Structure 1
Amino acid sequence: MNNKFLKKKYFFTLLFTVLLLLVLAACGNDDNDSNNDTSNNASEGNNENTEVTVDSEMGQVTLPANPERVLAPFHEDTLLALGITPVAKWAIGESVQNYLEKDLQDLERIEWTMPLEQVLSHEPDLIILENSLDSYEGSYEEYSAIAPTYVMTEEVTKDWKKQLQVFGEILGKETEAEKALADYETKVKEANGELTEILGDETVAFMWVTGGKYFLFEENRHSANMIYSELGVNVPILVEELGEAGTAWDPISLEKLSELDADHVIILGNQKDEGIETLKNSNVWKNTAAVQNDQVYYIEDESNWTNSGLNASEQTIDELLETLK
């Protein structure tokens, strides 16, 4: 066998060996990469947040992330705005927040005092309470023994926009909260333009009639705050004179209503209420500008008007526009 043939055979054998080693090395790298990816994914899965730590009225608290059974009595409006249905709805006896019933009608009621046995029966993953705990039957420690409990600060309790942001944070719904607020601002802007065309400089007053008594909304009382400050509706002089809304809502006398100089008056309450019957038969009331000009309107359900929240505000805007058009 000549040397030339041996050299050629040796060359091809060496080349094959080198190629084989390269292939094996590549396969090994692929396996390592695959193993690394699996390890990384497992690590990421292990690091997935199962808890969230937030500030509350009780200091920093650690809560479960993305709870499935949430109980937030009287603040179901905010939960619904985030696409969450609570495990029970706030009630005083048979009375509920009527404006939310289209979404909550099938839920069991929970008494506003939050009896511990009722709370326990709903098996919540998370309990959300207002900053003042005095109205609840149980203590913070007792509710916390049932489920992780978040107590809102006074600001979060009173400001539904801030509440929506905070609920979004603790419930893993930040994106939904941002979108809901952005959509609301668009709605307010559009409504502001429509009301300017409808009313011009005319004023509007809002009054709830119940149990034969008259409750005139101050500028910052419930939905009036949104209507006057955000929608830009002009305030009647008598309403300005009432000053800031206090904790208690005192009724106004029929005689005092004779001073109501509003161009338009929206009256909330059951048409069969004795107070409305008295108004319709009162010469004092009949001599007011709104009655004289046939600019008095009646709305049966006051629930969204006397509450605050995204749903309450949007329903009120829709009803206000529909009433005044």
Structure 2
Amino acid sequence: MSKKVTLYITGLLLIALLATGCSSDGSDETESNESANDEGTEETTERTLTHASGEITLSEQPERIIAPYLEDSLLALGVEPVAQWSIGDTVLDYLQPQLEGVPKIGYDLPIEQTIEQNPDLIIFSGPSALQNGSYEDYSNIAPTYVFEQETSANWREQLTTMGEILDKQEKAEEVLTDFDKKVEEASNTIEESIGDESVAFVWTMGEQFYVFDENRYGAEIFYNDMGITKPEFVENLPEEGAEWNPVALEKLGQIDAEHVFLIGNEGEAGFEVLENSSVWQNTPAVQNDQVYTMNDPSHWTIDGVLAHEMSINKIVETLK
């Protein structure tokens, strides 16, 4: 055997021995390295998310988040925004116990106000929400995610997607599971309380009146998931459109619901209008003293898991 061949075979044997040693004697070190990598995964793993305006890559868990009008989903996942949606002094009243002390930011996210909050993630409810600057303007401030309009409009999909954005998918699933249990329990309670008696939900703003159809805000849950009986008046409402059209007082006087939740800010002009209206005073719910005034409209007129939980609590508490 030539010297060159002998050296080649010797080299192969050395490589094999080294490989064997690494797989056995070095196993503890390998496991230690894997453990160290696992410990650092949460902080260093990059996530790339595709959204309505492109892609973003997040290498760390964002802590300073601005997500105007999406605060319900954030809080449901245990995340407090760095600033909250507002129009002037108007905020989402029903969330104020959780958002006390959180500074306000304009609904259209003025660029200067956004910079002042030093966010590390900005989330818009849809492309149409970018009213005060371009996507690039916000991306230069922080990674910016833009929901598909259809996704943010569906509160369940909004919450699920928010869980994906924040790497809290399990928490989102848990919240939805708990909500479905709440709906089932509330449904049983309502059935025991009023049976198949019908319920309507009327919102007054100014001197105008809006009746919730079965696809409007929480009414989708009340009627379709909880099985609350719709009055014929609601059954005959025009098909839902993009605009929510008010119902004339004379038409409202035809409402045949046995129970009516009348929703509006305290002192709203519509309450006085109804008080002085003979057509309203002759409706079944008024005649039977089964009109219930709800003076916090904010959670009734928005889609969100926390909002719907509050509305369900009010229904159960009122009809029990």
The TM-score with structure 1 as length reference comes to 0.86
Cα distance, 1:105 vs structure 2: 1.6
Tell me the equivalent position of 1:83: 78
Which residue pairs with 1:124 in the alignment?
119
SS of structure 2 residue aligned to 1:133: helix
Which amino acid is the alignment partner of residue 174 of structure 1? Q
Gaps of 5+ in 1: 1-27
The aligned counterpart of 2:261 is 266
Larger mean Cα displacement after TM superposition, 280-289 or 53-62: 53-62
Q: Which residue number in structure 2 is paired with residue 231 of structure 1? A: 226
> Greater CA radius of gyration, 1 or 2?
1
What CA distance in whole angstroms lies between the structure 2 residues aligned with 1:288 and 1:86?
Answer: 45
Counterpart in the other structure of 1:111: 106
Report how far residue 47 of structure 1 moved: 5.7
8 Å Cα contact 2:198-2:228 kept in structure 1:
yes
Aligned position for 1:213: 208
* Residue of structure 2 equivalent to 1:174: 169
Structure 1 residue ranges (4+ consecutive) displaced by more than 3 angstroms after TM superposition = 28-50
State which drifts further: 288-297 or 31-40.
31-40
Task: Verify the 8 A CA contact 2:215 2:240 in the aligned structure 1.
Answer: yes
30, 52, 58: which one aligns with 1:36? 30
Identify the match of residue 93 of structure 1 among 88, 95, 103. Answer: 88
TM-score (norm 2): 0.87
1:275 is aligned to 270
AA at the equivalent of 1:226 = I
Tell me if the contact between 1:64 and 1:148 (Cα under 8 Å) persists in the aligned partners. Answer: no
List gaps (5 residues or longer) in structure 2: 1-21
Q: Distance in 1 between matches of 2:203 and 2:188?
A: 26
Cα distance between partner residues in 2 of 1:41 and 1:244: 58
Per-residue CA distance 1:291-310 (angstroms, 9 max, x = gap): 11111110100100001111
**Matching residue of 2:58:** 63
Q: How does 1:242-253 map to 2 (within 5 A)?
A: 242-253=237-248
Mark the CA change 1:134 to 1:164 in structure 2 (over 3 Å): closer, same or farther. closer
Q: What one-letter code is carried by the residue in structure 2 that aligns with 1:236?
A: P
Deviation, structure 1 residue 35: 3.8
| Pair 1:140-2:150 in alignment | no
| Count of residues in Structure 1 that have an aligned counterpart in Structure 2 | 299
The one-letter code of the counterpart of 2:148 is T
Does residue 163 of structure 1 match 2:158? yes
Task: Give the whole-Å Cα distance in 2 for the aligned partners of 1:94 and 1:229.
Answer: 35
Q: Contact 2:138–2:144 (CA<8 Å) still a contact in 1?
A: yes
Query: Which residue, 191, 197, 201 being the options, matches 1:202?
Result: 197
For 2:279, the equivalent position in structure 1 comes to 284
